[in-house]
């Protein structure tokens, strides 16, 4: 899978299903995903010209 640009992977994406469907990633841009998917994305990224980062958890209570 070739990703060019900025992408956000939804937090309900199942890591096992993603691993089954995607065999390699070429990242040319920024990808944000849930903390659970980050290790898998980094493993599948054969070429990385950008960043793979964890997105802020929308369900987490904000600190004030």
The pLDDT, as a whole number, for residue 62 is 46
> Alpha-carbon distance 61 to 9, whole Å?
21
Query: Which of 3, 2, 13 shows the shortest CA–CA distance to 55?
Result: 13
Q: Any idea which residue has 């390699």 for tokens?
A: 24
The pLDDT, as a whole number, for residue 13 is 94
> Alpha-carbon distance 46 to 25, whole Å?
6
Which tens digits make up the pLDDT trace of 31-64?
Answer: 999 999 999 999 999 999 999 999 876 555 545 4
């Amino acid at each position: 899978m070739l990703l060019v640009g900025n992408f956000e992977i939804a937090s309900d994406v199942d890591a096992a299903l993603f691993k089954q469907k995607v065999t390699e990633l070429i990242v040319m841009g920024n990808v944000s995903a849930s903390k659970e998917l980050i290790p898998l994305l980094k493993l599948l990224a054969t070429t990385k010209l950008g960043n793979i980062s964890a997105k802020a958890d929308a369900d987490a209570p904000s600190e004030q």
